[in-house]
Amino acid sequence: MCSIEVIKSIHGGKVLSVNIFLYILNKNYKRKRDDRNVFYWTCSTKCGAKICTVETSNGEHEIDEFSTFSEDQHSHAADPIAIEAKKIKENIKQQALTSNVEKPIHGLF
Ligand SMILES: [Zn+2]
């Protein structure tokens, strides 16, 4: 079983975490055969590992039936600390963004 998680970046980027390996979104497209959104990811360390996911009906990601995940694809160990750091960083940015939006705009009326 794979544990998949998509970490959203406020800059519009997406980072995929599969069994504690981080992937950066390379491209995505709509597959005509089954009309699904297919996402191509490459390892964040540029070790050459790639993975494909498809979007499920509730917006989650699952590994595409034609793609496989294996830890042997990577020439390095997984880095759980990097993922936690990434999440914390994105959370802080998200909060900063939200508090800006909630600030009242003076002098509008
Ligand atoms: Zn890798």
pLDDT at 105 over 90: no
Two tokens, residue 40 = 């191509």
CA of 57 to the centre of ligand 1 (A): 28
State the Cα–Cα distance between residues 39 and 8, nearest whole angstrom.
14
Per residue in 47-63, pLDDT tens? Answer: 999 999 999 888 889 99
CA of 103 to the centre of ligand 1 (A): 41
CA of 35 to the centre of ligand 1 (A): 29
Q: Closest Cα to residue 15, out of 83, 99, 106?
A: 83
Beta carbons of 53 and 39 less than 8 angstroms apart:
yes
CA of 53 to the centre of ligand 1 (A): 16
State the Cα–Cα distance between residues 12 and 15, nearest whole angstrom.
10
CA of 77 to the centre of ligand 1 (A): 8
Per residue in 17-50, pLDDT tens? Answer: 999 999 999 999 999 999 999 999 999 999 999 9
| pTM for the predicted model, two decimal places | 0.77
CA of 106 to the centre of ligand 1 (A): 49
> Mean per-residue pLDDT for 74-87?
90
99 or 105, higher pLDDT: 99
